[in-house]
Each structure stands twice: as C-alpha cells, then as structure tokens.
Structure 1
Amino acid sequence: MKDTLLRFNDGLYMTCIWVAGLSVATMSLIIPWGIFARYVLGSGSSWPEPVSILLMVVFTFIGAAASYRAGAHMAVNMLTDRLPPNLKQAASLLVQVLMALICLFMAIWGAKLCATTWNQFVASLPSLRVGLTYAPIPIGGVLTLIFVLEKLLLGDQSHRRVVQFDLVEENEGAA
C-alpha cells in the first residue's frame, strides 16, 4: 500500500513539475511575441499579458506544491536547528499541521472564489471565465495538502529518488 501511494505521489509530483515547467516555457515564448507585435508590427496583441499572468499563477501554485514535496520550499531553521531532538520533532509536527490548515484554507476558499466569479469573463479574453483563472489556487492547495499528508504519514520524501514510469524498468523487471 505504501509503495502504491508513493508511486502515485511520484507521478503527481512529476506532473506538477511538468505543468510548472511548461507554464514557464510557454510564458517565455508569449512575452517576446507581445513585444514583437507591439514594437515591430506596430499593433499590440491584447492576449499575451493576461495569458502570461495566468501561466504565472499556474506556475506559482502548482510549482509550490512540487517545491514543497522536494523540500525546496522556503524555511527558516535558525531556531529549530538549536532545539533538542524531541522539541525539534514537535516543532516539525506543528509546522505540518499548520501547513495542512493553510492548504485546506486555499482549497475551500479558493473553490468558493472560483464559484463566485465563474459567471464573470476576463475583459481582454472574453471567452475565459474569471473563475477558471483562479482555479490554480484550490488545485495547488489540494496538491500541497496531499504532499503534506504524505510527509505526516510516510515521512519526508525529498531525499528519496522519484520512481520513473517508463518501459525500460518494466522490461528489465521481466528479464
């Protein structure tokens, strides 16, 4: 059961990395197009800026979930590093519980924000619902909550090698 859960979370983690990476890559292509259209073609496009902002929101919330699991999130350890082991463990547990509460807040209130703004449309992209632009908030909250629960129940996975899902491993296992 533990291995199945870890493999699932490994896949979720890799998906987060890919989504965040593709968001940044796409954004780095869209912004130069906006500059080219405005200064070379002489007519600015209205879509590059709002799309880039949306991609930055996706990168931020989905990338933060991956960063949390990788142990690359921001942490101030100056005080906790000086604590005795039993207090250090209690502080770590408190941090995880507080993180879970923040994730629940993001998921619940982010979903309410999406629902409340669903019938509004982005002015510069009239086919895009405002509620959809806020969707990375609750999605990021749920993803981070999954990784927080994983850390609470299965321990820190940031130093474990992520299992890759490819045919080479399956073929090697059959040989």
Structure 2
Amino acid sequence: MKENFLRLERWTSGLSLYTACAMLMLAASLAMFQIVTRFVLEIPAEWTEVLIRFSLIWMVFLGIPTAFRQGAMVSVDVLYRWSPPRIRRLLDWIVCLAAAGLICIIIWWGWDYAVRGRVQSMAGLESLSMFWAYLAMPVGGVFSLIGIFGNLLDTQRLELETAV
C-alpha cells in the first residue's frame, strides 16, 4: 500500500513539476513575444499579459508540491537535528498535519473562489473564464497534499536525514 502511494506520489510530483516548468517556459516566451510586438513592431498584443499572469499562477501552484515533497516548505531544522529519532518522527507528523490542514483550507476556499469566478472573464481574453486561473489553487493543493504525505512516508528520506 505504502509503495503504491509513493509510486503515485512520484508520478504526480513529476507531473506537477514538469507542468510548472512548461508554464514558466510559456510565460517567458509570451513575455519575449510581447516585448517584440510592443517595442519592435509597435503593435502591442494585450492578450499576452493576461496569459503570462495565468501561466505564472499555475506555475507557482504546481511548483509548490515539489517543495513540500522535498520538505523545503515547512522546516524546523535545529529542533529536528537536536532531537532523538522518536521525537523527530513526532515532529514529522506535527509538521505534516499542520501543512495538510493549511492545504485543505486552500483547496476548500480555492475551489469556492474558482466556482464564484466562473462568471468573470479574463480581461483581454473575454472567451476564457477566470475559473481556469483560479482552479490552480485547488489543483495545486491536491498535488501538495500528495507530496506532503509522500514526504512523511518516504523511509529513504528518513535514512538520509539520520546519516547527517
């Protein structure tokens, strides 16, 4: 069961990281396109600003799961290093549950925000609903939950930390 969850977690963390990287590439490409059209061709493309913001929002919320998976988001290093192994495991659980609680709140309110924003359209791209931009919060939150529990269950991570 644990191995299956860790396999799922590796797949979802990889997917979210690759998608976050693609969103960064999209934002950078659109920014270059915007610079060329605005300052070289003197025909600004306003729609690029909206898509840059859209891709940056998705990039952030899909990059967060990787940070959670690596244990980089919530860290109490000094206390962790000075504690015996049983206390370390207790600290792992406390941090995991606190982070998961926060992420659950983000998922709940992010979904509510997305549903309420579906009647809004993106300025410059009236055909797209703001639902798709706001959906990044609950989607990233679900990936983050998987990463948080993957970090907790990964015994290889624990072996590496005790060797330090």
**Residue of structure 2 equivalent to 1:104:** 104
Equivalences for residues 56-75 of structure 1 within 5 A: 56-73=56-73, 75=75
Matched, 1:55 2:55: yes
Contact 1:70 1:157 (8 Å CA) reproduced = no
Contact 2:54 2:133 (C-alpha < 8 Å) held by counterparts:
yes
Note closer, same or farther for the CA distance 1:125–1:65 as it changes in structure 2 (3 Å cut).
same
CA contact (8 A) 1:23 1:58 kept: yes
1:36 corresponds to: 36
Q: Within 2, Cα distance between the matches of 1:31 and 1:146?
A: 32
Structure 1 unmatched ranges of 5 or more:
161-175
Tell whether the 8 Å contact from 1:122 to 1:129 is kept in structure 2 after alignment: yes
In structure 2, list runs of 5 or more residues that go unmatched: 160-164
Structure 1 residue 146: Cα displacement: 1.5
Q: Give the structure with the higher percent helix.
A: 2
How far, CA to CA, are the matches of 1:50 and 1:75 in structure 2? 34
Answer 1 or 2: higher relative contact order, Cα 8 Å, separation at least 6.
2
Residue 162 of structure 2 corresponds to: none
Q: Distance in 2 between matches of 1:74 and 1:34?
A: 37
SS at structure 1 position matched to 2:127: strand
Identity %: 25
- Closer/same/farther in 2, CA of residues 88 and 3 from structure 1, 3 Å limit: closer
Superposed CA RMSD: 2.1
Number of aligned residues: 159
Runs of 4+ in 1 over 6 A off after TM superposition: none
2:154 is matched with 155
Is the deviation greater in 139-148 or in 87-96?
87-96
User: C-alpha distance in 2, partners of 1:56/1:159?
Assistant: 33
Q: Is the 8 A contact 1:71 1:158 kept in 2?
A: no
Compute the displacement of 1:158 (Å). Answer: 5.3
Q: TM-score, length-normalised on structure 1?
A: 0.81
* TM superposition shift of 1:76: 4.4
Q: Contact 2:37 / 2:44 at 8 angstroms: preserved in 1?
A: yes
Aligned match of 2:118: 118
